[in-house]
Structure 1
Amino acid sequence: MAEQPRQEGALLRFQAMPWVASGRALLASMVVLLVCDVIGGFIGVATGAETWGGAWGFDTESTVPLPVGAVQLVLAWLAARNVRPPVGRIAAVVLSAFCLLSVLAGLFDGDLIGTVASDGFLSWRVLWAVVVLLPVTAAVGLLAATRARQLRRRP
């Protein structure tokens, strides 16, 4: 009897895609997340919830602070670049953990709940956070975890 080829799962096919396997998807998604963070600050200013000076600082409630976003971008670059696999792997693991914490904080730290209470569920800030920022952050985290797993397998 002839053996049937082993069926690859969707996750394995996704990980094997050249764009994902090379780390370019991680870096591109992190750039998108950074742009979304900047837009989130503008939305906070436009709605009156943030000031120009605080919209991208450490006291912001509309997005992550831009210095944190810059660190995330550097971590994504290190993971995608893979000059030294241990450095890239560590950067990918840290970025993945950072994104997980960011999603959990975004959901449960009270800022989103407070925004819903004050602005309503269908406000720009709530919709931006729930429809854009949190899913993009989760995607970056999953791509970082995928990259860490790929770099673990390399010699």
Structure 2
Amino acid sequence: MTTTKTLVAATIVLFGVDLAGGLLAVGAGVNTWSEAWGGKALLAAPLPMIAVQALLVAVAARRSGRAAMVACGLLATACLVSVASGFFDGGLGNDELTPGLAAFQVFLLVVTGGVGVLALLRLRELAGAQHTAGSAQQPMA
């Protein structure tokens, strides 16, 4: 499987985990429907973050060159911010969460971090291809 396909597949898994997390949060009573994918979400990314990740992975997968490289860099950054916010926004290990829900939070952060790493790998792949293409166009002395 190529880096691009792996990145897309991992992002789809991440969106599934976000969906499941929101549903778990509502079912457990730790978030309301309006909070489950909003700023107070405990087991999912907020919808704006999910939308940005979807847009960036689409550009990273469908484009090449600078546009794809920028998208990969931004996606990796968004994932890093998402993981970091899990540690610093008070959500991780929230007192309302059962041990199982806290474990789900950690799983969500691991999947999010994995998508970020795959975005960096895609960026490296694109940068290498651009460097190789640029070297091939250099005139021989």
Question: What is the DSSP-based 3-state SS (H/G/I as helix, E as strand, rest coil) of the residue aligned with 2:19?
Answer: helix
Q: Which runs of 4+ in 1 moved over 6 A?
A: none
Q: Alpha-carbon deviations, 1:63-112, whole Å to 9, x = none?
A: 11123112101111111112x41000000000001111111111232111
Query: 1: CA distance between counterparts of 2:17 and 2:104?
Result: 9
Q: Which runs of 5+ in 1 are unaligned?
A: 1-17
TM score, norm. by length of structure 1: 0.77
Corresponding position of 1:34: 15
Find the counterpart in structure 2 of residue 119 from structure 1.
Answer: 97
* 8 Å Cα contact 1:76/1:91 also seen in 2: yes
Q: CA RMSD in A?
A: 1.5
TM-score, length basis structure 2: 0.84
Offset from partner CA, 1:27-54 (integer Å, 9 cap, x none): 1101110110011000100110111122
> 2-side partners of 1:119 and 1:37: how far apart?
16
Sequence identity percentage: 36
CA contact (8 A) 2:30 2:96 kept: no
Aligned residues of 2:86 and 2:92 also touching (Cα < 8 A): yes
Q: How many aligned positions are there?
A: 130
